[in-house]
C-alpha cells in the first residue's frame, strides 16, 4: 500500500471547485502523477499527486478538513 501524504498544513479539498467531480473516489484507478486532492494554504491551492499507479482504497479526510504536514490523505493499492 502507498500512502499519499499532505505536503503542507492547510485545508484538504477533494475537488477543484464546488461543482466539479472529485479528483478520486474509493475504487478509482490512478496513474503515477495523477492529482488526488488539493491542500489550500492562505488562498493558494497546492495539488497533491500520487507517485504510484494503482487503486484508491481509502480517503482519510473529508472535503474541507484541516490537515497537517505528513497526514495520510489517500491510500493506494499499487498495481
Q: What is the pLDDT of residue 78?
A: 95
Residue 16 has a CB neighbour count (10 Å cut-off) of 15
The Cα–Cα gap between 10 and 32 comes to: 23
Q: Is residue 72 within 8 Å of 44, Cβ to Cβ?
A: no
The pLDDT value recorded for residue 18 is 86
Residue with C-alpha cell 477533494? 14
Please, what are the domains in the chain? 2-78 (2.40.50.100)
pTM: 0.90
Give 5-64 pLDDT, tens digit per residue. Answer: 999 999 999 999 989 999 999 999 999 999 999 999 999 999 999 999 999 999 999 999
Amino acid at each position: 500500500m502507498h500512502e499519499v501524504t499532505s505536503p503542507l498544513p492547510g485545508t484538504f479539498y477533494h475537488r477543484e471547485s464546488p461543482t466539479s467531480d472529485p479528483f478520486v473516489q474509493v475504487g478509482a484507478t490512478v496513474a503515477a502523477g495523477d492529482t488526488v486532492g488539493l491542500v489550500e494554504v492562505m488562498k493558494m491551492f497546492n495539488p497533491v499527486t500520487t507517485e504510484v499507479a494503482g487503486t484508491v482504497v481509502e480517503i482519510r479526510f473529508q472535503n474541507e478538513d484541516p490537515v497537517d504536514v505528513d497526514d495520510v490523505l489517500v491510500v493506494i493499492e499499487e498495481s
